[in-house]
Amino acid sequence: MMTKLIYIAEDDKEINQLLALHLRNEGYQVEQTYCGKEVLKKFQEKVPGLLILDLMMPGVDGLQVIQTVREYSKVPILLLTARGTDADKVLGFGLGADDYVVKPFSIIELLSRVHALIRRYSDYGKEEEEKIIRNGELEFHPINQVITKNGVALLLKPKETQLLSIFMKNVNRLYTKAQLYELVWNTDYLGDSNTIMVHISRIREQIEPNPKTPTYIKTIKGLGYRMERHEQ
């Protein structure tokens, strides 16, 4: 888990540069972005230890970024904004932000919050991160619920992540569609095989070299699905 890597998403260039300068002086690796779309692209390449996010940005704003990131990662998010109303705070925290700093801010206070968030995330993740589950090019990181392929985070929906993690934890085990449905959706299976098939198809699009001839998740005709073991 790269706790020293911080992404900044702030469209005010002066604030962006100020943050980057002080964070680098504190020993962090910093990657600067200036819009929501840009930082989401970064997440596809590598999951950071912290995201500092401006709430109001052109195009994809901070709230949209939080919603998207929280679909596949628990990385801590520090909101940075000129809007400090209780309603904004409730909305930001409700979507999954971890802390909130209002502009203008004290750089000392901001750095203190950054240290605390990263320390909390790192301490929480140490034990679980040692239990990373690997199969071939795939890695499942339990602490932040991220699955990577060749080190790149897969943009899976929560149910897809849950489904794929079940296979990765139980390589070579055969699961029926009913078993998978009950495990992931926590309800009785009523013959809705299409739901499972659609989710498996979406997963294969991201993990298989050729989704039409899968090598990871195999269909066992008339029985269900099984993940094959791959050499690392």
pTM score? 0.58
Determine the 3-state secondary structure of 172 from DSSP.
coil
Residues of the chain with CATH 3.40.50.2300: 5-129
Q: What angle do CA 62, 111, 87 make, to 5 degrees?
A: 35
Alpha-carbon 91 to chain mean position: 20
Predicted confidence (pLDDT) per residue in 6-56, tens digit: 999 999 999 999 999 999 999 999 999 999 999 998 988 888 889 999 988
CATH classification of 133-227, choosing from 1.10.3720.10, 1.10.1370.30, 2.60.40.1180, 1.10.10.10?
1.10.10.10
What span, in angstroms and rounded, lies between the C-alpha atoms of 70 and 22?
27
134: left (phi over 0), alpha (psi -120 to 50) or beta: beta
- For residue 227, list its beta bridge partners: 217
pLDDT digits (tens, 9 = 90+) for 98-140: 998 888 889 999 999 999 998 887 765 555 555 789 999 999 9
List where CATH 1.10.10.10 sits in the chain: 133-227
* Sign of the alpha-carbon dihedral angle for 195, 193, 215, 165: positive
Architecture of the 5-129 domain: 3-Layer(aba) Sandwich (3.40)
